[in-house]
Amino acid sequence: MKLRSVQVDALSEPARRDFLERMRVHLRRFFPRQCQSMNDAQLNARVCNGVRRAGKYDIVNERDVCKYCDLMFALGENFDADSRYPWAAAILSEERLDPTVKTNRLFKEALRRRQGNPA
């Protein structure tokens, strides 16, 4: 499924609730420390922000949006503009890349750097 911020807002209420619920479960499972102080409404807001931010880079496939949100929780909500992660901005600005390729490169690079291999 492809998602854009207006689409998340315009989804039928059951579909919207389903998407947000799946994302909340996913994020609480994989990012418990980052999510522990957030209630469902706050987490929903973060997910919707992730959908909007990902959409700026034409990342609209549900799986890719999920990965983008994962990166937001791992690196910070504004990782795409954070000077600590110039590699993220460089990948995201490559217009010739397919959005899924872009997302996979971001994810791979974040994992590589997290494992202590910055080069």
The pLDDT value given to residue 15: 77
Q: Which residues pair with 2 in a beta bridge?
A: 61
Cβ–Cβ < 8 Å for 99, 61: yes
Cα gap 57→43, rounded to integer Å: 22
Segment 35-59, tens digit of pLDDT: 999 999 999 999 999 989 999 999 9
Domain chopping of the chain, boundaries? 5-114
Rounded-to-integer distance, Cα 84 and Cα 80, Å: 10
Question: What are the pLDDT tens digits along the chain (119 aa)?
Answer: 555 555 555 557 777 788 899 999 999 999 999 999 999 999 999 999 998 999 999 998 889 999 999 999 999 999 999 999 999 999 999 999 999 999 999 999 999 998 876 55
